[in-house]
Structure 1
């Protein structure tokens, strides 16, 4: 894998001489179209998580998100099961865990102590973790630009971790440890991106999404209805149905539909470009946060700028 962003798969896999410029332009347009749509969907996910947490616990939000996504894709996943081999099943279980299941819980847990705006910003670290995971497990090389970008983004993360309302920058002992839940989710996404790109050449994006969610659906169902109070809250808690509606949108649109679009984009672009959707996600997340009354201080804006600039530097040519 090349460790710089490229704007279509044609650059990653050099085109045949017969390929025309029109085809290349169409591939580029598709990649950018998917990028913008996904930024709007995923950038709105954090405010939906916030609304769900007003009634439900992080575990309930994460599990119901997976249940909603997995259930809506059953008509697509079940018919495809019989055509899988053991290697594909193993890889799809991993994709289901690191691409959907684990991050759903991590983001919900993080937002119990982080604003939706800042959660979206920390999520922008995903492309750098794509590079790191690619270098460790898939033979990619980390360039000088990657290293510089990582260092700049790291400074931004430290700023965001330590800035405190009313006191400027805090000390290391005052860091908001909940941000590490988001960073761990970014590691999961980095693993997921590389597996999809390099282990599923023969599977279509819809199959990857639907079956990977099916693999983790039973675990989510058992946890949700056997280990939580979800069943009681949805019928008895004030606002339970409305909050469940927000999580349903999160699962169906923000997970099921978005993952299909995302996996298609991975097929027509490179892993790093696909993960570059996280450049735009913070903008959408911050807009929702401000509309919801969240306050960002000067230190937050400095940290946000450093993270996004670092990610950009680390992934440009």
Structure 2
């Protein structure tokens, strides 16, 4: 009986893992489609609006039980865990392929370790350091590979990659705050309420500071682009986070973290299907980043 239960949980865990990799790995091509009509600010804000609205049934009932300290921390989590990264990723992909954006995003676990060591007293191990060094080499390669030149010549740095790395820093801050300051709240509640906290700002920015409303009505293809961003917000932000939390329960955090290595694979597949070109230098850099993240997060 026990073996049957374990086998069933393992099957569920693998199902969630593959589903999450497909959802999160597809986020970057959805951002790319949204940017065909909307500005980075519009894509970022609309992503937060759709995610926040779909999670209202989970967030609103929990508001009354929060104290002032929790509310302040949830606002911070909403900003660094969702709001700011949504804008940074959209801005990055104006000059960066969806494939490479997905690869840079894989650096998140290493930034979790670094931020934890600097600000939260977490211990950084020799293995963490080695993994960070390997991944850093991969990032440098990816930053300097020149697209469209033979096997991949090196040239100036693509500064837009730093938007993605800054988003990874935000995620690192976010996950450490959740780990050390939210022992009493469940992850699903944290996700839903933190999105609710930044929802008003996203709504005000979207409808008062952008041309989103005009484009929806007057620009050809705007409704289709909005549909892609809606998928991004509802699936890629709201539902995916809930699925991730369920996966952690039926498996282990270590198993759940392995989704980090599958997301770049899915992002690269979408990019190649969409006509993006990866050179030899890109593949070398990608391999180094994924290897570094794997080494740095082994238990």
Give the TM-score normalised by the residue count of structure 2: 0.92
Residue 82 (str. 1) matches residue 57 (str. 2) = no
Shift in CA distance, 25/98, structure 1 to aligned 2, threshold 3 Å: farther
Stretches of structure 1 lacking an aligned partner (at least 5 in a row): 1-19
Q: 1:22-37 to 2 correspondence within 5 Å?
A: 32-37=14-19
Which of 225, 234, 238 is equivalent to 1:252? Answer: 234
Equivalent position of 1:154 in the other structure: 136
Q: How far apart are the structure 1 equivalents of 2:68 and 2:256?
A: 27
Q: 1:194-273 to 2 correspondence within 5 Å?
A: 194-265=176-247
Residue 43 (str. 1) matches residue 10 (str. 2) = no
Residue 90 of structure 1 deviates from its aligned partner by: 1.3
Which of 96, 110, 113 is equivalent to 1:131? Answer: 113
Residue 205 of structure 1 deviates from its aligned partner by: 2.6
Equivalent position of 2:279 in the other structure: 297
Which of 267, 278, 281 is equivalent to 1:285? Answer: 267
Which of 134, 154, 162 is equivalent to 1:170? Answer: 154
Q: How far apart are the structure 2 equivalents of 1:53 and 1:179?
A: 17
Residue 201 of structure 1 deviates from its aligned partner by: 2.4
Match of 1:243, SS state, is: helix
The CA deviation string for residues 31-65 of structure 1, in whole angstroms up to 9 with x for no partner, is: 55433322111000000000000000000000000
Q: How far apart are the structure 1 equivalents of 2:7 and 2:291?
A: 27
Task: Number of aligned residue pairs: give it.
Answer: 296
Shift in CA distance, 202/266, structure 1 to aligned 2, threshold 3 Å: farther
Higher mean C-alpha deviation, range 185-194 or range 147-156: 185-194
The CA deviation string for residues 98-119 of structure 1, in whole angstroms up to 9 with x for no partner, is: 1110110000000000000000
Give the TM-score normalised by the residue count of structure 1: 0.87
Aligned-residue CA RMSD in angstroms? 2.1
Shift in CA distance, 196/252, structure 1 to aligned 2, threshold 3 Å: same
Shift in CA distance, 213/48, structure 1 to aligned 2, threshold 3 Å: same
Shift in CA distance, 90/35, structure 1 to aligned 2, threshold 3 Å: farther
Residue 109 (str. 1) matches residue 91 (str. 2) = yes
Residue 258 of structure 1 deviates from its aligned partner by: 1.1
Q: How far apart are the structure 2 equivalents of 1:60 and 1:216?
A: 15
Contact 1:46 1:119 in 2 (8 A): yes
Match of 1:280, SS state, is: helix
Contact 1:205 1:264 in 2 (8 A): no
